[in-house]
Amino acid sequence: MTRRLLALLAALVVTSGASADRAPAASAGAANLTVYAAASLTDVFPQIDKRPRFSFAGSNALALQIRNGAPADLYVSASPNFTQDLFKAGLVEKPQTLVYNRLTLIVPKSNPAGITSVFRLRRSGIKLVVAAPAVPVGSYTRQILRNLGLTSVLANTVSQEPDVRSVTTKVALGEADAGFVYATDALAVEDQVTKIVLPAWAQPKVRYEIAVVAASKNKAAARAFSKRALGPVGRGLLSKAGFILP
């Protein structure tokens, strides 16, 4: 009886030790993961998993860094153009659609310029802030203005920013009269800005893609994060943040 008890205790110790060894290894994989993601995902991605190292910026800047050999494991772009270009160059694995978004025009709560419609941006003296053309939100901004026949309002641009968060911040702080941002970014500062809805027919197709970086030395963790982002947990958090699910 004593022998049996000792054997059982020994087996429990071995099993417990093996589990303990596996858990830190799995955790270490996520902790060593480097995720390069569009700036508009700054608030929501750490909610999906807070352990990875995140680098949030304009998708164009992140794509360039990956081309130059930056040690990223996973890349998420606010425009499929960048992920598809990297895929063609063999620098990322096959991209998958993550979510969709839409554009909105925001003005400070005080709205000193009295902007109540996107067409009011044609007035001279308006201080408009937009993202640079190479940034996805900047490209989408110019596309929606073309669709609306309003490209002339770009003459009122006082600043071209490197990412959508910079545009959002400037308008929220009252440093500009208006700015074009993603609906999700507007939601994050809704107590500081007023949203002016843009016509649905003029909206560009804003699609995000996620892809594992081909040169990653942590592909298992990268694929695990991607799976979580695309799965029920990620979809729930992204939807709550205002993103549109596929």
pLDDT tens column, 123-137: 999 999 999 999 999
The CA distance from 6 to 57, in Å, is 57
Write the CB contacts of 114 (distance below 8 Å, at least 6 apart in sequence): 120
Residue 23: the pLDDT is: 38
pLDDT, one tens digit per residue, over 102-152 is 999 999 999 999 999 999 999 999 999 999 999 999 999 999 999 999 999
The percent of residues above 90 in pLDDT, for the chain, comes to 87
CA distances to 6, 7, 11, 90, 113 from 2, in Å: 6, 9, 14, 62, 86
pLDDT, one tens digit per residue, over 7-55 is 433 444 333 343 433 434 445 567 689 999 999 999 999 999 999 999 9
Domains of the chain: 32-100+207-240 (3.40.190.10), 103-202 (3.40.190.10)
The CA distance from 180 to 198, in Å, is 10
Residue 213: the pLDDT is: 98
Give the chain's mean pLDDT: 91
pLDDT, one tens digit per residue, over 165-212 is 999 999 999 999 999 999 999 999 999 999 999 999 999 999 999 999
Task: Give the 3-state secondary structure of 118-187.
Answer: HHHHHCCCCCEEEECCCCHHHHHHHHHHHHHCCHHHHHHEEEEECCHHHHHHHHHCCCCCEEEEEHHHHH
Alpha-carbon Rg for the chain in angstroms: 23
Residue 28: the pLDDT is: 55
Residue 27: the pLDDT is: 53
The CA distance from 73 to 217, in Å, is 7
Residue pair 160/138 in contact (Cβ under 8 Å)? The answer is yes
More confident residue, 81 or 15: 81
Which residue, among 228, 205, 181, 239, has the nearest Cα to 74 in the 3D structure? Answer: 228
Strand-pair category, 178-182 with 103-108: antiparallel
Residue pair 193/176 in contact (Cβ under 8 Å)? The answer is no
Residue 15: the pLDDT is: 39
